[in-house]
Structures are given as structure tokens and as C-alpha cells.
Amino acid sequence: MSQARSMSAREPIRERRPQFWQVAKRCCQIAATVDVAFFFLFHILGSPILAWVNVISVTMYVVAYRALSKKQNRLAIGLIWAEVIIHAGLGIVLIGWDSGFHYYLLMFIPALFVSMGLRAAVMSLLGLWSYYVALYLVMWFIEPVQPIAPGALLAVYLFNLSVVFAMFSYLSFFYLTMVTTANRKLRRMATTDPLTGLFNRRHMTYLAEKELARFQRSGHPVAFLVLDIDHFKAINDQHGHEAGDRVLEEVAGIIKAQLRTQDLIARWGGEEFLAVLPNTGLNSAQASAERVREALLAHDWLAKTGERIDITLSAGVSEFRRDDDLNSAISRADRALYRSKEGGRNRVELEVV
């Protein structure tokens, strides 16, 4: 935890939360478009000062957008802050609190926490709150400097409210998508082996325990295959570690192709795989292991140099028994695998009763 905090403190601001800077660019585009609309709206409503403020606002957003493209994120955030704060303040002082310009200030609350460290965000939040309250109190005591007709004020209010609704919806959707994507990625990283894409050992243990609980209830057979590539060290030594990795990936693909979709497959160790076969007795499991072994033999294994690689696989098979546990079932398959290796490799052996 403290390591994670110190890492994020050392990370430059532009490297942190890269997705946020993308969405900040999109917000610059939307805000500049809204300000162009304001320019015309305020001209029509007879408030030239507010109309021309929007020309400055659009310029600030264009500069902020370019700064974000060049990864000058601090400059961009400073410009966006200044624009919103000045624009909202001017709008309220000129035509009144009922214009709804203050809503734009609230939009900064989530952005503050994403764009800076916690301390800076809390300080900025306090500043924002003070500014918001001060504006409200000022407008309690003074009249708007350049009031517009009530109907026009209502139109400005509804326009501002709608823009803020739309932008909040967009930001909420963006945050939701970001969190969902990150969760999916974390889950994949926590449950799969990065090289082969199969389940990793920890997740397989969890899934196998669940499968065994089902067996205890239903009594349907569950079989275990421990599959191990023969003389894998020699493959690494002769063709290089990279070729070894490629073999592991391809073997994983072959195992997957030869077993059923409901079978659970994991990379159990370096060059060892474990498959849990639900609703499968010992003999069917042996047939499945044979199928995998033969598919491996039939595959054309070529090194990058075009040289042939001899690849075979040994397997041990066991079946879950009543009053058994996961470790003992896998140990029996392991002992069967050991006999395959002892017996000359490239073969499948069943557990002994």
C-alpha cells in the first residue's frame, strides 16, 4: 500500500491516469462548441460583454487542447480551471445566480480527484467551495450588473442546466467504462497464465475445489490429467528459451483443442499442465489424454531455423474418489505421470488403485 502510494507520488503527472487526459481533450472540444453557441446566444439576448467573453473562452480551450496533445497537462488544467472559474463568475455577476452558470463549477469535483494527488485535490476542493459560496453570498446582496429579460434568463438557465446534465452523464459513463475495463483486466491478470492464456495454478485450485464440491453433491465422476512435455529442458537448451515459450503456447492450444469446452485447463508448473474433466470417468479421461498426446505427435514442430523439434508428452490420469481431497487426487495423477516418465515417456498411465 505504502509502496503503491510512493510509486504514484514519483510518477510524473502526465503519466498518471492516461485515460483522464483523453477525456479532458474531449471536454475541451465540447466546452469550446458550447461557448461558440453562447457567443451567438448572448448576442441575440442583448448581452454583448458575455458574448465576447466566449471568444476568449474558445481561445483558452483551443490552447488547452493543444497543450494536452503535447502532454503539457499542468498548463491545460490551469487554463481549463481559469476559464470555468472566470466564465462562471462573470456570468453570475452580470446576469444573476438564476442563470445557472454556477453548475459548471460543480462539474470540477470529480475531475479534481482524478487530475491531481489527494492533498492537492482536497485543497482545490476547499477553494472551489469557498468560491461557490462567496458567489452565492455576493449575489444575495447585489443586483446583476447587466440583467436580461426574464424569458431570456430562463432560456440561459435551461441551456446551462442541459449542458451540465449532458456532460455529467458523459463523465459518469466514462468513469464507469474505465472502472469496468480495469476490473476485467485485473481479473484476467489474477486468473490466467500470461504466456499460454490458460488458468493459473491459484485460480485452477479454486475452480477444482468448486468442481469437487459439486461431485460430493451429485456423485458424477471427475477426472484429473497431469500432462508434462518430455525433455523440455533440452528444447530450451537446443533451440533457445524463446522457442521453448512458443512450444508452451502451442501445446496449450493443442490441449484446449482436444478437450471439451467444459473441461478446466491450467498451466500447473513450468512445462506441466493440469486438466480437470467434469463428468468423466477414468477410461474416458485416459482416451482424452491419448488424444492430446497423439495430436502433439502429429503436429509439425519447427524451430525458427526450420529445424524440426521432437516433442512428446507424458500424462498421468486419476479419478476423484469419495472422501478424497484435491491434493491426494492430483498426487495420484502425479505418481502415474512419474511412471509414464520412468516407462520411457510419450505415454499415458492411469493411477494405481
Ligand X SMILES: Nc1nc2c(ncn2[C@@H]2O[C@H](COP(=O)(O)OP(=O)(O)OP(=O)(O)O)[C@@H](O)[C@H]2O)c(=O)[nH]1
**Residue 338, class by beta-carbon neighbours within 10 Å (0-12 exposed, 13-18 middle, 19+ buried)?**
middle
Nearer to ligand X, 147 or 344 (CB): 344
Which residue is listed with cell 479532458?
Answer: 24
b/e per residue 4-29 (b: at least 16 CB within 10 A): eeeeeeeeeeeebbeebbebbbebbe
* Shortest Å distance, C-beta 306 to ligand X: 20
* Shortest Å distance, C-beta 244 to ligand X: 3
> Catalytic: 250?
no
Nearer to ligand X, 24 or 311 (CB): 311
223 with 317: CB under 8 angstroms? Answer: yes
d(CA 296, CA 300): 8
Nearer to ligand X, 230 or 319 (CB): 230
Pairing relation of β-strands 313-319 and 348-350?
parallel
Nearer to ligand X, 231 or 299 (CB): 231
94 with 49: CB under 8 angstroms? Answer: yes
* Shortest Å distance, C-beta 246 to ligand X: 8
Say which of 83, 211, 271, 319 is annotated catalytic: 271
**Residue 180, class by beta-carbon neighbours within 10 Å (0-12 exposed, 13-18 middle, 19+ buried)?**
exposed
Residue 348: how many CB atoms within 10 A of its CB?
24
Order of all β-strands in the sheet with 272-278: 264-267, 272-278, 222-229, 313-319, 348-350
Which residue is listed with cell 490429467?
Answer: 225
* Shortest Å distance, C-beta 342 to ligand X: 10
275 with 264: CB under 8 angstroms? Answer: yes
* Shortest Å distance, C-beta 10 to ligand X: 31
Residue 323 sits at the vertex; the CA angle it makes with 318 and 329, to the nearest 5 degrees, is 25
Nearer to ligand X, 93 or 227 (CB): 227
Nearer to ligand X, 230 or 263 (CB): 230
* Shortest Å distance, C-beta 268 to ligand X: 11
Query: 3-class SS at 159?
Result: helix
* Interacting residues toward ligand X by CB under 6 A: 195, 228-233, 236, 241, 244-245, 248, 270-271, 341, 345
Q: Could you list the active site residues? A: 271
